[in-house]
Amino acid sequence: MKKYDLVVIGAGPGGTPAAMAAAQFGKSVLLVDKRDAPGGECLFEGCIPSKVLENAANRFAMLKEMKAFHVDVEGKEQIHWKAVLEDKKQILKRRSMGAMKQMERFPNLEFRKGTARFIDIHTIDVDGEQIVFDHAIIATGATAFLPPFEGNGVQNAWSNAEVFRKNDLPGEITFIGAGAISCELVQMFNKLGTKCHLLERGERILKHIDEESALVVQEKMIRDGINVELNVTFGKIEGEEGAFLVSYEQNGEVKKLDTPYLLIATGRAANVEGLGLEEIGVVFDRHGIQVDETLQTTQENIYAVGDCTVGPKFAHWATYEAGIAIHNIFAPMKHKTDISKLSWVLFSDPQIASVGLSEEEAKKKGLEVAIERYDYAIDARAQLDKAEEGLLKFVIEKESGIIRGIQIVSEDASSLSGEASLIVANELKAMDVMKTIHPHPTLTEGFGKLAQQVFFKSMMQARR
């Protein structure tokens, strides 16, 4: 019976770096995944495929916007969908094989395709073979959660995993749910000329995101011709690919929508079924495995990271957690996760980037905060790019003056998120940000100008 220092279940953005980090420590490691190669859902169905589509959609939309910059493009714009899919395939293959080559540098790291199940807290079964370990990390990720809608159509609908498998560009798609996945995809397909409907139970899109930021994107969707239906109560969903019928009620009116394609994105469910967690006393529910701040489960030698845990579900957060878990398993001093400095980007139009605490999150923590805004409508770079929609927002703790959170809504918010992350991670104040000289004309100037605004405002208040 084989024995390893560490067994890692799941080879996504949490499991793969965890396995390689442990191998660098000189530990014997087994990395198990149901797929043929590492990458996880982020690589094969999530973050990377959607960004291939985003690139194609944005460049296609740019052709249509050339007239705003006094440029005529001869001929009719067209998108070669099959070529986009082939591009996606090649990028996925390149990245997955790249990870395999990195792992091959470690003779003490073994990758195995298979299905793992715990027998006890020191033994797993992988397709009939029992393997013993000292420690384990569970990094099995999450998949689309399908709510219990009535009708047979739910089982035939797409999730984010299936949407890229269609060889022809869909002419019309209905999206159910207005979270991050739907909002990114609906705008991308709309730019490519697909007729898009977005149905949401709540009173606005992106209910877990800063409301001011979300509404900028919502208004842009509507202006761009996306049919956004809010305050929806769903009835039956019937049909199959090519002919769905969605019944719903809105403001007391019963409505029906015929749509050839249907994508349901109403949340994520942790991949915990079939792992045998019940038998070994690891506590979990649909939302994920219960871990403490050190990422230890209810069994001291078993840790869990990434989307399979109760907590944020981002690829980069999973990678961050992987480093902490490995440190806590093999190093003498324990480290804790710090969600107050989490950053993320929504690749909507305009993009939304968030670092640290939002105003609502700060208040829930009992912090008294001040909110300061910079409107990109007055920004030189934004005006030059004809991308004036958006804002930069500081969430400042009043007592200390520390910038505890930053929200950015901009055409290029993803590129600005790095500076925002450094500001929050290093607990900088407005005066610290003012010391940075930002080149002109760039969107990064907004940080300096907002910091200056905060500084002079505090000076005026002090004089009073």
CATH, domain range 154-266:
3.50.50.60
Neighbouring-strand partners of residue 131:
124
Residues 6+ apart with CB under 8 A from 91: 48, 52
Phi-psi category of 66—alpha, beta or left, where left has phi over 0 and alpha has psi -120 to 50? alpha
Catalytic residue among 80, 208, 335, 440: 440
Give me the count of residues in the chain: 464
Is the distance from CB of 406 to CB of 371 less than 8 angstroms?
no
What pLDDT is recorded for position 433? 96
Superfamily of domain 3-143+269-337: FAD/NAD(P)-binding domain (3.50.50.60)
CB-count burial class (<10 Å; 0-12, 13-18, 19+) for 253: exposed
What pLDDT is recorded for position 200? 97
Report the alpha-carbon distance of residue 141 to residue 353 in Å, rounded: 23
| Count of beta carbons in the 10 Å neighbourhood of residue 34 | 13
CB-count burial class (<10 Å; 0-12, 13-18, 19+) for 51: middle
Same fold, 154-266 and 340-463: no
Is the distance from CB of 261 to CB of 174 less than 8 angstroms?
yes
What pLDDT is recorded for position 403? 97
Helix, strand, coil abundance in the chain, percent, nearest 5: 35, 25, 35
What pLDDT is recorded for position 349? 94
**Among candidate residues 191, 328, 208, 349, the one with its CA nearest the CA of residue 266:** 208
CATH, domain range 340-463:
3.30.390.30
Q: Is 440 a catalytic residue?
A: yes
Each residue's pLDDT tens digit in the chain (464 positions)? 799 999 999 999 999 999 999 999 999 999 999 988 877 676 666 677 777 778 777 777 777 777 777 666 666 667 778 888 788 788 878 888 888 888 889 999 999 999 999 999 999 999 999 999 999 999 999 988 888 889 999 889 998 878 877 888 999 999 999 999 999 999 999 999 999 999 999 999 999 999 999 999 999 999 999 999 999 999 999 999 999 999 999 999 999 999 999 999 988 889 999 999 999 999 998 789 999 999 999 999 999 999 999 989 999 999 999 999 999 999 989 999 999 999 999 999 999 999 999 999 999 999 999 999 999 999 999 998 888 999 999 999 999 999 999 999 999 999 999 999 999 999 999 999 999 999 999 999 999 999 999 988 877 776 66
Domain positions in the chain are: 3-143+269-337, 154-266, 340-463
What are φ and ψ of residue 163, in 5° steps? -65, -25
Report angle CA 97, 137, 295 to the nearest 5 degrees: 120
